[in-house]
Amino acid sequence: MTPGTGRERESGMNPKVLAVHSRAEYMTSKQVRESITLVAGLGVEHDAHSGKTVKHRSRVRQDPAQPNLRQVHLIHSELFDDLRDKGFEVGPGLMGENITTSGIDLLSLPTGTVLHVGSSAVVEITGLRNPCSQLDELIPGLMKAVLDRDASGEVVRKVGVMSIVLAGGPVVHGDAISVQSPSGPQRPLKPV
């Protein structure tokens, strides 16, 4: 496994999996599982969003043949603390992520970052999750709470990152995550 980035090492953080989720049916929230299995080129085994081509309904309507860059959704658990401070009780799986992480600033990683998860699973970050109005169906006002603006007025999306599976394997609570930065120029994350 590749060692963590300098940022995690210096801060004493130990990036890890806090929880794992999947759901065979199309629903915003996903069920907490003891383990999930990542399948190379597809996503999470038995999950509604698994596949070589896009599975998210809005993307399917645009072009059902486009590649699935949203095979695995990861959210940093630190977001839940921020939302709790704003009066929203949100926990793992509620916003549809497959992997809830701890100790890693997912939103600051560049496009193409590779995450080694557990003993054998490897995912590559493709971009940011673009939150949708279904979040307001879970908790009114949640959509607005996961969006912000930076100093230049650009929208900041806080609902985690999307990725593709490079190497499959099981993922369970407590698995270590190591970060491998992409070589070459660092490209900031954009919505996918």
Summarised one tens digit per residue, pLDDT across range 136-171 is 999 999 999 999 999 999 999 999 999 999 999 999
Task: Give the phi and the psi of residue 79 in degrees, each rounded to 5.
Answer: -60, -35
Say which amino acid occupies 32.
V
Helix (H) or strand (E) run with residue 177 in it: strand 177-180
Place of tokens 């054998």: 120
Work out the burial of residue 91: count CB atoms within 10 Å of its CB; fewer than 13 is exposed, 13-18 middle, 19 or more buried.
middle
Q: Give, for 84, the enclosing helix (H) or strand (E).
A: helix 78-85
Beta-bridge mates of residue 76: 101
Other beta carbons within 10 angstroms of residue 2's beta carbon come to: 12
Domain ranges across the chain: 6-180
The pTM score is 0.91
pLDDT in tens, 45-79: 999 999 999 887 777 788 889 999 999 999 999 99
Instruction: Write down the CATH number for the domain with range 6-180.
Output: 2.40.33.20
- At 62, is the secondary structure helix, strand, or coil? helix
- Tell me the three-class secondary structure of 92-140, residue by residue: CCCCCCCEEEECCCHHHCCCCCEEEECCCEEEEEEEECCCCCHHHHHCC
For the chain, the distance separating the N- and C-terminal CA atoms, rounded to the nearest angstrom, is 27
In terms of Cβ atoms closer than 10 Å to its own Cβ (0-12, 13-18, 19+), residue 137 is exposed
Query: What is the per-residue pLDDT across 19-34, written as a single tens digit (0 to 9) for each?
Result: 999 999 999 999 999 9
**pLDDT per residue over 80-130, tens digit each?**
999 999 999 999 999 999 999 999 999 999 999 999 999 999 999 999 999
